[in-house]
């Protein structure tokens, strides 16, 4: 027993000595990793017919590069061009690598321009997985949040909604994008889904008024389009529609807001009524 204890202590001291010498001879130094995106033909040769395995290895490298920024000094920056170049290569090597497409769109975006780098990868994934609702959703979400590009956001969120198994918990986001992008017809249809799916009378009342509001916006937008088609010029004010005989009157908003014409975007919008008697 005594010999065993002595041997254990000796081994522990030896291990500590080796560890100490290792740190003295080879101190820990943070260095930038070698970042290189191989051409696809070269990567295929190096994979030795194990394309999926190589794709997994490269995916791990990109994941470590992105996640490692949480503990590395600030002078270590995310290399977007390399990372998304790698994701293109990874999904070329293994087109069925679903999580790689998702990671490109939901976990790898570090700055605004990454939204545009992610989109072609996600669209490539949509061609391979046409029934996925997640891939178009993340395109729409990123364009809504980062760039406030509501037309693109609304289009892709609409596509996501109509995929098998798509949840309805992003309907409010989609309706907001569609309305801000001027697609009042789709926003109305989406609001009707919310209206039909709830049994809460208070929510039904709110959703019902939102449907009236969207229907008003749709009517005003159509009248504005008809005005331009007939006269050859865009309206400058919604009153032009009444004076031109395209509408009997400007409809009342169910929430007491005011409909106005946005000349810059050439579309009808909503704003709070201006009190001229303050």
Provide the residue-wise pLDDT of the chain in tens; the chain has 278 residues: 665 656 555 556 655 665 655 555 545 454 566 688 999 999 999 899 999 999 999 999 898 888 755 545 555 577 899 999 999 999 999 999 999 999 999 989 988 999 999 999 999 999 999 999 999 999 999 999 999 999 999 999 999 999 999 999 999 999 999 999 999 999 999 999 999 999 999 999 999 999 999 999 999 999 999 999 999 999 999 999 999 999 999 999 999 999 999 998 899 999 887 665 54
Last residue of a domain, one of 108, 129, 150: 129
How far is CA 198 from its chain centroid? Answer: 27
150 in a structural domain: no
pLDDT at site 9: 56
For residue 270, give both structure tokens: 């909503």
DSSP state of 235: -
Last residue of a domain, one of 107, 129, 151: 129
| pLDDT value, residue 278 | 47
Longest CA–CA separation in the chain, Å: 107
Looking at the domain assignment, is residue 92 inside a domain?
yes
Question: Is residue 27, in this structure, part of any structural domain at all?
Answer: no
How confident is the model at residue 151, as a pLDDT?
96
Q: Indicate whether 175 belongs to any domain.
A: no
Residue 34 belongs to some domain of the structure: no
Note whether 142 and 118 are within 8 A (CB): yes
Q: Which of 101, 112, 158 is nearest to 135 (CA)?
A: 101
CA–CA separation, 90 vs 55, rounded Å? 5
Among residues 93, 113, 88, 82, the alpha carbon closest in space to that of 103 is found at: 88
Q: Which of 129, 146, 166 is the last residue of a domain?
A: 129
Residue 228 structure tokens: 């331009």
- Residue 106 inside a domain? The answer is yes
pLDDT of residue 86: 94
Q: Print the domain residue range for 240.
A: 206-278
Please indicate, yes or no, if residue 22 is contained in any of the structural domains. Answer: no
Q: Which residues contact 143 (CB under 8 A, 6 or more apart)?
A: 115, 149, 150, 152, 153, 156
Domains contained in the chain, number: 2
**Is the CB of residue 93 less than 8 Å from the CB of residue 44?**
yes
């Amino acid at each position: 027993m005594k010999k065993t204890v002595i041997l254990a202590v000796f081994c522990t001291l030896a291990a500590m000595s080796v560890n100490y010498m290792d740190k003295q001879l080879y101190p820990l130094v943070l260095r930038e990793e070698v970042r290189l995106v191989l051409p696809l033909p070269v990567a295929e040769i190096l994979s030795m017919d194990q394309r999926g395995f190589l794709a997994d290895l490269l995916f791990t490298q990109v994941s470590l590069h992105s996640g490692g920024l949480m503990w590395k000094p600030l002078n270590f920056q995310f290399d977007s061009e390399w990372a998304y170049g790698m994701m293109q290569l990874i999904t070329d090597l293994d087109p069925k690598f679903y999580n790689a497409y998702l990671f490109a769109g939901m976990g790898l975006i570090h700055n605004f321009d990454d939204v545009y780098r992610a989109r072609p990868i996600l669209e490539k994934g949509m061609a391979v997985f046409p029934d996925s609702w997640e891939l178009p959703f993340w395109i729409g979400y990123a364009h809504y949040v980062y760039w406030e590009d509501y037309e693109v956001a609304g289009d892709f969120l609409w596509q996501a909604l109509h995929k098998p198994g798509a949840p309805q918990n992003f309907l409010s986001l989609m309706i907001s994008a569609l309305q801000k992008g001027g697609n009042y017809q789709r926003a109305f249809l989406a609001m009707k889904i919310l209206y039909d799916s709830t049994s809460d009378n208070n929510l039904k009342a709110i959703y019902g008024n939102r449907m009236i509001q969207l229907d008003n916006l749709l009517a005003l937008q159509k009248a504005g389009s008809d005005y331009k088609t007939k006269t050859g010029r865009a309206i400058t004010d919604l009153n032009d529609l009444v004076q031109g005989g395209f509408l009997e009157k400007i409809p009342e908003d169910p929430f007491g807001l005011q409909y106005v014409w946005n000349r810059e975007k050439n579309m009808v919008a909503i704003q709070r009524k201006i009190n001229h008697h303050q």
